[in-house]
Amino acid sequence: MNDQAEALRNLVKQKNSMERNRMTRIVTVTSGKGGVGKSNFSLNFALALRRLGKKVLVFDADIGMANIDVLMGISSSSHLYHLFKQDKTIWDIVQEGPSGLQFIAGGSGFKDLLELSESEMRWFSEQIGKLDGMYDVILFDTGAGLSKETVLFIEAARETIIVTTPEPTSITDAYALIKMVKAKGVDPSFRLIVNRASDRKEGKQTADKISMAAERFLNTQLPTLGIIPDDPSVSKAVKRQVPFTIAFPGSEAARAIDDIARRFIEDEKPSEEVVHEGIKGFLHKMFRLSR
């Protein structure tokens, strides 16, 4: 098993070294509250981007609740903690999931992020910086809610996808998250996903409600990236620990995710400034803001 893991790491390293010519988009996925399907969205969105030919890395940055590997039925032996403690390199903790999707398991790692010493921070920056140009998209699946770590990720990234549901508490908390970020003088590119909508009408009404409030009171544009229906296939897939876009590719939720991925690539391309910042620009801002 160890020989197989070593072979996989070497293969990933070789493939990535040959492909270091990409402009990497850094995207934070977050939500105002837990239980809205944020991590499930991140995982299946990443898989949909893979199917469209994009090379994607999912970075599980959900402090204390990291579960991307669990959703895939994978038991991770390497995660961020090992990188922080300099026990392993970045290539040791990059793992491969279904359909060749690459991911980094979070564990409790990001809880230590704001407490790194200068030497630990230099090591961490050097290691993460090696990812620059090797992926088209790096998705940071952050924790839900108004934690300082989540806000830090949103501040550092130029693109943020907010996941909400039609539930009033979910809408209120999503709005509160945007308000908190704006109060810090930060204006990232926000986009909205409405998950578990009973039908398209409810999804649109939810999106319109929060978007109008954000524009009126926060002077912030919040375009809708997509609406995902409340689909029983999703919970079935979670119980099987298989991503629903793989377990039930013809389901309504899977088709919605595919549409969202196409829209993300085709209709809402970021500015050159956003793309050229890459992972190094993201890291620089994140560590500067954390001090």
Answer whether CATH 3.40.50.300 is correct for domain 26-290: yes
Confidence of residue 119 (pLDDT cuts 50, 70, 90): confident
Q: How far is the C-alpha of 147 from the C-alpha of 4, rounded, in Å? A: 38
Q: Give the Cα-Cα-Cα angle 288, 158, 219 (nearest 5 degrees).
A: 105
Query: 């009033």: which residue's tokens?
Result: 168
* Tens of pLDDT, residues 88-101: 999 999 999 999 99
Nearest of 204, 225, 238, 268 to residue 43 by alpha carbon: 238
Count of residues in the chain:
291
Per-domain boundaries in the chain:
26-290
Q: How far is the C-alpha of 253 from the C-alpha of 269, rounded, in Å? A: 23
SS (H, E, C) the chain: CHHHHHHHHHHHHHHHHHCCCCCCEEEEEEECCCCCCHHHHHHHHHHHHHHCCCCEEEEEECCCCCCHHHHCCCCCCCCHHHHHCCCCCHHHHEEECHHHCEEECCCCHHHHHHHCCHHHHHHHHHHHHCCCCCCCEEEEEECCCCCHHHHHHHHHCCEEEEEECCCHHHHHHHHHHHHHHHHCCCCCEEEEEEEEECCHHHHHHHHHHHHHHHHHHHCCCCCEEEEEECCHHHHHHHHHCCCHHHHCCCCHHHHHHHHHHHHHHHCCCCCHHHHHHHHHHHHHHHHHHHC
Indicate left, alpha or beta for 99 from its phi (over 0: left) and psi (-120 to 50: alpha).
left
- Cα–Cα distances (Å) from 131 to 85, 88, 287, in that order, read 19, 15, 17
Q: How far is the C-alpha of 153 from the C-alpha of 105, rounded, in Å? A: 17
Beta-bridged to residue 197, according to DSSP, are 229
Confidence of residue 63 (pLDDT cuts 50, 70, 90): low
For residue 17, what pLDDT is reported? 53
For residue 13, what pLDDT is reported? 59
For residue 128, what pLDDT is reported? 87
Cα–chain center distance at 47: 12
Reported as half-sphere exposure (CB side, CA atoms, 13 A), residue 176 has a value of 13
Q: At what angle do helices 232-240 and 252-266 cross, to 10 degrees?
A: 90
Q: How far is the C-alpha of 110 from the C-alpha of 80, rounded, in Å? A: 7
- Look over the chain and give the mean of its residue pLDDT values, rounded to a whole number: 86
pTM over 0.85? The answer is yes
In this prediction, residues 116-132 reach a mean pLDDT of 82
In this prediction, residues 262-283 reach a mean pLDDT of 70
Indicate left, alpha or beta for 86 from its phi (over 0: left) and psi (-120 to 50: alpha).
left
Q: Give the Cα-Cα-Cα angle 116, 22, 18 (nearest 5 degrees).
A: 90
Confidence of residue 66 (pLDDT cuts 50, 70, 90): confident
* Tens of pLDDT, residues 153-168: 888 888 999 999 999 9
* Residue 64 confidence (pLDDT) above 80: no
